[in-house]
């Protein structure tokens, strides 16, 4: 699961920076510029973190990513638009984080 989390973090981090270029959002009046840059840096650093810190770093940054990107989705919705890229990133972060926290042990069957 750590490898999957690393891939999600790297893809979302790089894609977030790419969308800043594609949508010409490098303007100083872009409310999401600084959060997007901090998020992207955090996701990339978490993806590259040593194994003993990776799980914690990924959980933290994927959780922050889900929040930042859902805020972006909400901002689009208020304007009557659908932010599909932001929505995809938010869902990817949420799913990646959830998979990292799931328990890997078997649940005993029978009388519980």
pLDDT in tens, 83-94: 999 999 999 999
% pLDDT > 70, the chain: 91
Higher-pLDDT residue of 108 and 59 is 59
Burial class (CB in 10 A: 0-12, 13-18, 19+), 55: middle
pLDDT given at position 25: 80
What pLDDT, in 10s, does the model give residues 34-74? 999 999 999 999 999 999 999 999 999 999 999 999 999 99
pTM of the model: 0.83
> Considering only CA atoms, which of 3, 1, 9 is closest in space to residue 92?
9
Mean pLDDT of the chain: 89
27 pLDDT band, cuts 50/70/90, is: confident
């Amino acid at each position: 699961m750590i490898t999957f989390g690393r891939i999600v973090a790297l893809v979302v981090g790089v894609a977030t920076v790419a969308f800043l270029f594609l949508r010409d959002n490098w303007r100083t009046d872009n409310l999401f510029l600084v959060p997007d840059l901090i998020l992207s840096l955090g996701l990339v650093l978490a993806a590259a973190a040593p194994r003993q810190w990776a799980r914690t770093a990924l959980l933290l940054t994927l959780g922050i990513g889900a929040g930042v990107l859902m805020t972006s989705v909400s901002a689009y919705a208020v304007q009557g638009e659908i932010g599909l890229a932001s929505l995809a990133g938010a869902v990817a972060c949420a799913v990646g984080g959830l998979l990292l926290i799931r328990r890997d042990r078997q649940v005993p069957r029978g009388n519980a």
